[in-house]
Structure 1
Amino acid sequence: MIYKGSKDIEEKGKVDRITVIFYLIFVVFGWLNIYAASFDLESATAMFDLSTRAGMQLIWIGSSLLLAFALLKIDVGFYETYAFVFYLIGIGLLLVTLLVAQDINGSRSWLIIGPIRLQPAEFMKFIIALSLAKVFNTYGFRLMERKNILLVSCIILLPALLVVAQSETGTALVYLSFILVLYREGLPGGFLFMGIAAIVYFILGIRFSDTFIGVISTGEFVTILLIIIFSAAMVWNYMKRHKVAFIILLIAASTFMAAFIVSFFSVKIDWGIVAIIALSLTALYLLLLFFRYWKKTYIYIFFFLIGSFAFLESAEYVFYNVLQPHQQMRIKVTLGMEQDLSGAGYHVGQSKIAIGSGGLIGKGYLNGTQTKLKYVPEQDTDFIFCTIGEEHGFVGSAVIILMLLAFVLRLLYLAERQTTIFGRVYGYGVTGVFIFHIMVNIGMVIGIMPVIGIPLPFFSYGGSSLWGFTILLFIFLRIDKSRRRN
């Protein structure tokens, strides 16, 4: 392979310094904030006291730096060759954890080895990313072949199910961030759209399930209208049949208009049934289009419509009969259905008070009252961001968020410049995991997402998470370092 320009040659064999600088800044800032979050006003301890959280985190940081150095020295071929071996070991550890782990705060996800506690689910993030990269790098691999999409789905979903069985739903949801890899490697945008639509259906169906329009809830009524609109939009986008899209909308509008006219003759109208009729007519019209033109896209849109309605009808059942009571309450609090400031909403309520009390520039390092008086639970782990907000204010929080955004954009840049499919796929896997963690952690701390208990990368206290993120990142930096080797 011939490379153009001296700059390309100079980059050969170099670790991306910008990403390493981001990493070092984050772990130092994280350590300082862990000390601040665990600081006791009555019995202040030194920052380097190894009996404290900050001291223990310092040990984890030191071991992580050694680990990062070691990962950069391993030949990149090792990661690809043994990717499936890592996967089997990871699945084995998840099974062992499920069988022997003690119940800690309702979760059976920790392996305790003497003074060390490890969470195998954290290490599955880089293992899944490596396994996906190896599969995609197979000669002639095409994602949308049935056997391949099934294989890729199993690689992601098998560990997710095992982690759910450990009552670690938050970590299992992180694995779904690998959808970014699939989308980059050829998964049609329609699949991503269906995932977003399902989230919208679930939120609307649950949030407005307590008021009714006829035989259906307000949430179901609004969602049915959205399903019809989405179906018309899919016809517009995929079939380029703008007239057909307008007819679908016209069918729904005409159904409601006819019911409105009938209501003038003293006939009581059940608008919920009218919405269901409009949806049914739209489905029949899509079927007629399929049998007339024999275009598979019409039947796919038909199944999307039917599947959307089935999902909507099952959402309430899943919410009340599958999810645990504490999970239900967290979602209700996030959606504004419940306050529960002394229960499930206590964490978020206190976190928002702490962040809000920081004002524009914060109260100053170690001067946060909400965090020092321990009003915020888990303030040095999942809720570490509230310490940043209280002590450094809006300005400090904004700086951290902008730095995290720059870090993610840098990872995207590195992923795109890879010269192998293996490197690109792994890079997008890494980026997806970090995007999910950052968005959800900060979102749950400020109250716009449910509390699912996942750490803020490099900031939250914990050896397993820091090791997991370090391995995830520095394997990628090693792959990037050798990208021009061939």
Structure 2
Amino acid sequence: MIKRNKILLRNIDWLIVIIYIFMIFFGCMNLYSVSPEKAEKQFIWILLSFIFIFIVFSFKPIHYKYFTPFFFLLTLLLLIGVFFFGKNVNGSKSWYVFGFISFQPSELSKISTSLMIAHFMSHNNINNKKILLYTSIILIIPIFLIFLQPDPGSAIVFFSFILTLYREGLSIFFIFYFLFSIFLFILSLNISPCIIILFLLIIFIFIFFYKKSASFIDLFFYLFLFISFSIFSIFSPFFFQKFFKKHHKDRINIIFQNEFDKKYRDNVGYNLLYSKTAIGSGKFFGKGYQKGTVTKGKFVPEQHTDYIFCTVGEEWGFMGSVIFIIFYLLFISRIYFLSERQKNIFGRIFGYSVGNMIFTHLIINLGMVMGLFPTIGIVLPFFSYGGSSLWSFTILLFLFIRIDASDKISLI
């Protein structure tokens, strides 16, 4: 046992562990600039996260594979239970609160869904239509339950699994279809659906004449796309008005407005206005650690969670922000590199799921603070304040590190 543990420790990818440690403590340091009290709590959560790491390493990957279906079912029950026993926070009923302990079941579902996709896909081929249907169901159930809370931000992150499935052979068409559907959804909120349908019709007429030798099946496929996109455009405004809460609508609408306008800057545009102000005021080299005036003045709401990158931009400047982003991308690239060299399919799929989820969080969070995406409650992994987020991403990462270490010495 002792000998095996020594071998296991020797085969841990210590580079990714070092980057992880750097990120969580650099994040804690930046949190201290925003709120010393919250930084102290975050430090306690960081120390507790090492307990989770120890627990993760106490089991073999074969155990994770065996218990994955039961864990996935448990998280689905927790997602359902939150509607009855959860606490409403900021308009979303997505938290369980037990005294001073609170957690989001959606964070647990990120872990269970990653494991479930890896477990299911390691035995099946994504090009099989039946398998594709089953895989879609595995993803749609937690997305649907999380969206109903409503927590659209967390629900959107689950679409990162499409990239994992693409690595396993899913047609690029599905990625195109998903991205174009999002584009049409946003477009239909500001442009008449009739104009969009006319635009779609022109595109498909052009395709029809361009592909003169198209078969009947091809034409049927193009017709299906035209009809589905048209229906999507027509019903998007209704769906937006019916199922999105006011603060969700405001956060999306402000992307198409000017947050500097008087009627927006004191309400829905306030966060974005001071977020850009904080980042821009850092200029090239930044104002220096704990010298950010916007940060010190606490002008940016939720700067300790969703908008923590503002602190990096203001205190460390353009150069510090670029180095931070490059460092983050290297971290994600390392996860992809380790995933690709897995001998076991389960490890490869799970690794790509972890990397894609962290990458999606990074892109959306940075887009939020710079006004490229609406504010949808997406945190910066290992960096933003919060125990649930820190622990879930820590467990995800070290589950993969454990799998990777075992893969090298064939202990799976």
TM-score by length of 2: 0.92
Q: What SS does structure 2 have at the residue aligned with 1:109?
A: strand
Please provide the CA RMSD for this pair: 2.1
Partner of 1:38: 35
What amino acid is the match of 1:106? G
Partner of 2:277: 353
Partner of 1:55: 40
Distance between the aligned counterparts of 2:405 and 2:197, measured in 1? 52
What amino acid is the match of 1:64? S
Partner of 2:79: 94
- Deviation at residue 307 of structure 1 after TM alignment: 1.6
Counterpart check, 1:298 vs 2:225:
no
Counterpart check, 1:319 vs 2:240:
yes
Question: Contact between 2:11 and 2:408, CA under 8 Å: does it hold in 1?
Answer: no
Counterpart check, 1:22 vs 2:19:
yes
Partner of 2:210: 245
Partner of 1:461: 385
Partner of 1:257: none
1:37-76, Cα deviation, whole Å (9 max, x unpaired): 115xxxxxxxxxxxx2111101100011222233123211
Partner of 2:3: none
Question: Contact between 1:205 and 1:220, CA under 8 Å: does it hold in 2?
Answer: no
Map 1:59-458 → 2, pairs under 5 A: 59-138=44-123, 141-209=124-192, 216-217=194-195, 219-228=196-205, 231=207, 245=210, 289-290=215-216, 296-336=217-257, 340-458=264-382
CA distance 1:189–1:23, change in 2 (3 Å): same
Gaps of 5+ in 2: 1-6
Higher alpha-carbon deviation: 153-162 or 423-432? 153-162
Q: What SS does structure 1 have at the residue aligned with 2:102?
A: strand
What amino acid is the match of 1:147? K
Higher alpha-carbon deviation: 193-202 or 425-434? 193-202
- Deviation at residue 446 of structure 1 after TM alignment: 0.8
Question: Contact between 1:204 and 1:223, CA under 8 Å: does it hold in 2?
Answer: no
Question: Contact between 1:224 and 1:309, CA under 8 Å: does it hold in 2?
Answer: no
Question: Contact between 1:132 and 1:152, CA under 8 Å: does it hold in 2?
Answer: yes
Distance between the aligned counterparts of 2:82 and 2:18, measured in 1? 35
- Deviation at residue 28 of structure 1 after TM alignment: 0.6
Distance between the aligned counterparts of 2:199 and 2:226, measured in 1? 14
CA distance 1:184–1:156, change in 2 (3 Å): same
What amino acid is the match of 2:369? V
- Deviation at residue 246 of structure 1 after TM alignment: 5.7
Q: What SS does structure 2 have at the residue aligned with 1:117?
A: strand
Q: What SS does structure 2 have at the residue aligned with 1:364?
A: coil
Question: Contact between 1:84 and 1:131, CA under 8 Å: does it hold in 2?
Answer: yes
Question: Contact between 1:129 and 1:429, CA under 8 Å: does it hold in 2?
Answer: yes
Q: Percent identity between the aligned chains?
A: 38
What amino acid is the match of 1:150? L
1:198-242, Cα deviation, whole Å (9 max, x unpaired): 122223333334xxxxx944x55445444555x46xxxxxxxxxx
1:129-155, Cα deviation, whole Å (9 max, x unpaired): 1011111122xx222333322221121
Question: Contact between 2:365 and 2:378, CA under 8 Å: does it hold in 1?
Answer: yes
Partner of 2:4: none
What amino acid is the match of 1:181? T
Partner of 1:252: none
Gaps of 5+ in 1: 1-9, 40-51, 210-214, 233-243, 248-284, 291-295
Partner of 1:470: 394
Larger C-alpha radius of gyration, 1 or 2? 1
Question: Contact between 1:68 and 1:474, CA under 8 Å: does it hold in 2?
Answer: yes
What amino acid is the match of 1:369? T
Distance between the aligned counterparts of 1:372 and 1:224, measured in 2? 53
